[in-house]
Amino acid sequence: MAAPLWKTQAQREQERALKREAVLRAAARAFSEQGFHRTSLDDVAERLNVTKPTIYHYVRSKDEILFECVRIGLERLDSASASAEAQRGGGCGLDRLIVLWTEYARIVTEDFGRCLILVGEDPLPAETRKELRALKGKIDKRFRGLIEQGIADGSIQPCDSKLLAFAAAGALSWIARWHDPAGSLPVDEIARQTIGFFVNGIGLNGAGAGRSRHAGQHASAV
């Protein structure tokens, strides 16, 4: 049977969506490598081997591209945090937090997640930044919620959930800045070791416990 000559509406929409994602992904890589202000739409078009007018079939402006790249990165983190939060019967709070942190490390080393960390929403207009920061706040709230569940079920020692959430997110986000896809360690191994520092600590058999207590007292006084 001969193939149909004309694409259906659904096929055309799917094709457009795939091409738009290709534009966003190429831009996310360019922003991460060159910086937002040093990247032009001509640069993005060159990466895709198309003309600049072609780019405008899929996006209206460079600001819109950055907004979409950051939004996609945030929505992936939001989806991961929502999934971990929903698995109340799937292990203790610490187990679910480790799953979330591992997925977080994976996301921030992918194109959109890396753009989120390396570029973020700061170059965008204030109203746009407000929308994206609201989504960031929702993700942070879920992070803290999992920590607090772990404290409640005894799998995490009592601590300041806000401080732990910020410290872990900062450490995992920084992976996006130094991770080399061609390096010797895969992302999952980097995530495993980084998360292990938080879960297990770095002191051996209690060594340095006194100094740790002193440091904690000093930090609380700052």
8-53 pLDDT, tens digit each: 888 888 899 999 999 999 999 999 999 999 999 999 999 999 999 9
Residue 208: the pLDDT is 53
Give the other-Cβ count within 10 Å of 6's Cβ: 6
pTM: 0.85
User: What gap in Å lies between CA 194 and CA 208, rounded to an integer?
Assistant: 20
Distances from the Cα of 75 to the Cαs of 135, 147, 202, 208, 213, in angstroms? 8, 21, 33, 41, 38
Mean per-residue pLDDT of the chain: 88
Show me where the domains of the chain are located: 63-200
Task: Give 186 or 218, the one with higher predicted confidence.
Answer: 186
Give the other-Cβ count within 10 Å of 34's Cβ: 13
**What's the rounded mean pLDDT across residues 138-148?**
93
- Of 179, 34, 26, which Cα lies nearest the Cα of 105? 179
User: What gap in Å lies between CA 39 and CA 89, rounded to an integer?
Assistant: 46
Q: ∠ CA 129-131-132 to the nearest 5 degrees?
A: 65
Residue 12: the pLDDT is 82
CB contact set of 23 (below 8 Å; sequence gap of 6+)? 44, 48, 55, 58, 59, 65
108-127 pLDDT, tens digit each: 999 999 999 999 999 999 98
Residue 201: the pLDDT is 85
Contact 31, 118 (CB under 8 A): yes
CATH entry 3.30.930.10 includes domain 63-200: no
67-107 pLDDT, tens digit each: 999 999 999 999 999 998 887 666 899 999 999 999 999 99
pLDDT of 212 above 50: no
CB contact set of 211 (below 8 Å; sequence gap of 6+)? none
How much is the CA Rg of the chain, to the nearest whole Å?
21
Residue 6: the pLDDT is 80
163-203 pLDDT, tens digit each: 999 999 999 999 999 998 888 889 999 999 999 999 998 88
For 36-54, b/e burial (b = at least 16 CB within 10 A) is beebebebbbebeebeeee
